[in-house]
Amino acid sequence: MSHTRLSLALDAPEALPTEGRIAVFRPTADTDLSLLPKDRAHLVQGFRPDYDALSARGYTVSPMPEGDYAAAVVFLPRAKAEARALLAAACDGVAPGGPIWVDGMKTDGIDSIIRDVRARLPISDPIAKAHGKIFSFAATPGGLAGWAAQPMTPAEGFTTQPGVFSADAVDRGSALLAACLPDHLPAKMVDLGAGWGWLSAQVLARDGVESLELIEAEHAALECAKQNITDPRVQFTWADVGKVTRDPRPTGAVMNPPFHTSRNADPALGAAFIRAAAGLLSLSGTLWMVANRHLPYEAVLREMFHEVTELTPPTGRDGAFRIFRAERPIAHAAKPGKGAQTPAPTGAKPRRVARTRR
Ligand SMILES: C[S@@+](CC[C@H](N)C(=O)[O-])C[C@H]1O[C@@H](n2cnc3c(N)ncnc32)[C@H](O)[C@@H]1O
């Protein structure tokens, strides 16, 4: 199916220059890009599952803009600071006067971005279609000055940038999980969906940890983690956790899995993370995880691990989050390397979970 707003916008012959590379910011795995010349399109996508899918479709993709462009198309992310940062990057990367097309859903704030850009630069008449709008403006050096991503300090000693998970503060779920970790952890640890690294730093503060691999799909978040953690025991991997295999296998894992792709909670994401963890860990390995209380993960944990225990944080039962320790993956159930984005059905019936402290 064609992208209706893009096809309306690009209908005019002068909509795009006839030569030069076109930067396409934040297309997703299934964005229809058939209206853009494939050999000139340079896709900028830092989320690894989308990056992999777009690469498999034959596009040139990189996690960051590279070099100069003749034009740009920006698919608007929902976080306003991230959207502004992308527009500033496009404004800086496109040759002066080159067109920058901005496409977004109303629910992702396109109207407010139109207002904000219009206050700084002349823009085309927005085209409204299919609950969204598209408009363009000409790249102007310094035209969006002040919109570039500004680093934030969510906790002392940590830096983040707009758009990464919980960029402005330590996630409460991760803090509860850290409070439930034992004083001594297995030697070979992984942090699945490590974000900007706060939970990893708590793991490194425990006894017994000889190595820790941070696996994170969002390139920008992993770059923050690299600044935040300089411990020589650490390795950083930009990957979809569901596609990672390791030999020798890790003996312990922590995770605060993602639970939504866009606006809606999607329990299949966390379930895929649990399967990925079970597939990655050694058969004597242990997973510690936190999840929103309303998400149905206990059945998947029981399907994938021999022993599952719900832990109570030192502050007592939490109304919003549950913390689990899952021990010894079930060998035949754990199949690594499928990709954490792949939703899969849950099989086992839920059983009562023992409640213990730590
Ligand atoms: C709920 S956040 C937790 C982040 C971090 N562990 C923390 O405690 O702040 C989940 C993280 O998983 C990452 N993520 C989402 N899908 C992923 C995937 N398929 N593979 C690896 N990481 C993924 C997200 O980018 C996000 O940083």
Tell me the three state secondary structure of residue 88: helix
pLDDT digits (tens, 9 = 90+) for 10-27: 887 788 999 999 999 999
Residue of the CA atom closest to atom 24 of ligand 1: 193
Region 277-306: mean pLDDT is 95
pLDDT digits (tens, 9 = 90+) for 138-195: 999 889 999 998 999 999 999 999 989 999 999 999 999 999 999 999 999 999 999 9
The helix (run of H) or strand (run of E) holding residue 254 is: strand 252-255
Ligand 1 centroid vs 325 CA: distance in angstroms?
A: 19
Residue 340 Cβ inside 6 Å of ligand 1? The answer reads yes
How far is residue 345's CA from residue 15's CA, in Å, rounded to a whole number? 45
Residue 10: its pLDDT value, please?
Answer: 84
pLDDT at 204 over 50: yes
Residue 52 Cβ inside 6 Å of ligand 1? The answer reads no
Region 291-298: mean pLDDT is 91
Residue 193 Cβ inside 6 Å of ligand 1? The answer reads yes
Ligand 1 centroid vs 192 CA: distance in angstroms?
A: 7
The answer to whether 120 touches 140, Cβ cutoff 8 Å, is: no
Residue 238 Cβ inside 6 Å of ligand 1? The answer reads no
Residue 277: its pLDDT value, please?
Answer: 97
Residue of the CA atom closest to atom 7 of ligand 1: 195
Ligand 1 centroid vs 274 CA: distance in angstroms?
A: 13
Our mutation pick for probing the ligand 1 site, out of 28, 52, 159, 165, counting the most ligand atoms within 8 A of Cβ, is 165
pLDDT at 351 over 60: no
pLDDT at 355 over 50: no
Ligand 1 centroid vs 234 CA: distance in angstroms?
A: 17
The answer to whether 165 touches 171, Cβ cutoff 8 Å, is: yes
Residue of the CA atom closest to atom 12 of ligand 1: 193
Residue 217 Cβ inside 6 Å of ligand 1? The answer reads yes
Ligand 1 centroid vs 128 CA: distance in angstroms?
A: 33
Local confidence band at 352 (pLDDT 50, 70, 90 cut-offs):
very low
DSSP 8-state class, residue 45 = -
pLDDT digits (tens, 9 = 90+) for 68-110: 999 999 999 988 999 999 999 999 999 999 999 999 999 999 9
Ligand 1 centroid vs 158 CA: distance in angstroms?
A: 17
Our mutation pick for probing the ligand 1 site, out of 196, 218, 289, 338, counting the most ligand atoms within 8 A of Cβ, is 218
Give CATH 3.40.50.150 domain extents, the chain: 2-138, 172-329
Classify domain 172-329 by CATH architecture: 3-Layer(aba) Sandwich (3.40)
pLDDT digits (tens, 9 = 90+) for 309-330: 999 999 999 999 999 999 999 9
Residue of the CA atom closest to atom 25 of ligand 1: 218
pTM as predicted:
0.91
pLDDT at 356 over 90: no
> Could you tell me the fold of the domain covering 2-138?
Rossmann fold (3.40.50)
Kindly give the number of the ligand 1 atom that is closest to the alpha carbon of 191. 6
pLDDT digits (tens, 9 = 90+) for 150-166: 999 999 999 999 989 99
Both tokens assigned to 98:
């080159």
Rounded mean pLDDT of the chain?
90
The answer to whether 318 touches 272, Cβ cutoff 8 Å, is: no
Kindly give the number of the ligand 1 atom that is closest to the alpha carbon of 221. 27
Residue 160 Cβ inside 6 Å of ligand 1? The answer reads no
How far is residue 252's CA from residue 249's CA, in Å, rounded to a whole number? 9
pLDDT at 341 over 80: no
Q: If you count DSSP H runs as helices and E runs as strands, how many of each does the chain have, helices first?
A: 9, 15
pLDDT over 90 for what percent of the chain?
79
pLDDT at 346 over 90: no
Region 38-54: mean pLDDT is 97
Both tokens assigned to 341:
């984005």
Residue 7: its pLDDT value, please?
Answer: 83
Residue 195 Cβ inside 6 Å of ligand 1? The answer reads yes
Residue 149: its pLDDT value, please?
Answer: 87
The answer to whether 269 touches 258, Cβ cutoff 8 Å, is: yes
Both tokens assigned to 338:
């499928």
Residue 13: its pLDDT value, please?
Answer: 76
Ligand 1 centroid vs 283 CA: distance in angstroms?
A: 24
